[in-house]
Amino acid sequence: MRPQHRTGRPAAAAVAALTGAVLLAGCGTGGELKSAGPAPAAIGPARLWPELPPASAAPYDYGEGETAHIPGITVPGGDVRRLDPVAVVQAGLNARPDRSSGTDALPAGAVRQIKACRTAPASCPVLKPYYRDLTGDGRDEMVLAVRLPGRQLSVRVYMPEPSGLTRIMSTSDAVISVELAGRDLIMRAPSAITGYEYRTAWSWDDRQRAMLPTQDEILRMTPRDGPGRRRTPSARPSARPTAEATVTPGTAAPSPVPSAVPSAAVTAERR
């Protein structure tokens, strides 16, 4: 028995060595790392005019971070779908924002039309609402808009709370379109530069308890082939995934489908 045991060990070692060689040979034939070429040198940001003192206050007020409790509005069961959008906008005319910026003020003509929505519904500037959970708390917010003169639109977002209803976003602009992408509200507006348009993404900020313009860009547009087609962004998709969805007024928003959001060809400050 001992001689057989002695002759079996070298044989087993030879088999193991042969197996290892085959495995190593297989690893070397595919899947190995390959060089992508030389990487460009990283250039860090260089601060210009460092001797200038920092600004102590914003030069303008864009209305970001401004919220307001809507008086006289309760939210049954925390469901904003059960609210009357016209009543919400009418009650909002008497709301006192947490800070006075004047950005939520509506033209006198629009105020008159809003107050007369019950008696003159055909000229009521309040558009049908959309619903989407923009804060991530599992409850839908109400997205409303009011038509203003000059083809402008005042866009508002209302969040249900135990104390009632809170307006967490209010801004006005001459818009091309308003879109919901995941938990972002995106407004596209025309630019004075031919072939470009502005794109502002508003997102919920838990610290401020408000929707903030987290991304403000100017995008280069490229016309689509064929007559009557609208121009769309030509910028490359960024790596940050979001979801684009189309929802119908007064209905539940569909589950978002992941897609890429175009990054800006040119980034600019706009107010």
Alpha-carbon gap, residue 175 to 201, rounded angstroms? 13
Inter-CA distances, 91 with 95, 154, 167, 174, Å: 7, 16, 11, 24
Q: Is residue 17 assigned to a domain? A: no
Q: Is residue 13 assigned to a domain? A: no
* 162-212: pLDDT as tens digits: 999 999 999 999 999 999 999 999 999 999 999 999 999 999 999 999 999
Inter-CA distances, 82 with 59, 126, 181, 202, Å: 40, 17, 24, 25
Q: Is residue 114 assigned to a domain? A: yes
Q: Is residue 9 assigned to a domain? A: no
Range of the structural domain that residue 149 is part of: 68-262
The tally of domains found in the chain comes to 1
The average pLDDT across 102-122 equals 89
Percent of the chain with pLDDT over 70: 67
Alpha-carbon gap, residue 220 to 78, rounded angstroms? 41
Q: Is residue 26 assigned to a domain? A: no
Top pLDDT among 130 and 233 is at 130
Q: Is residue 174 assigned to a domain? A: yes
Q: Is residue 188 assigned to a domain? A: yes
Q: Is residue 166 assigned to a domain? A: yes
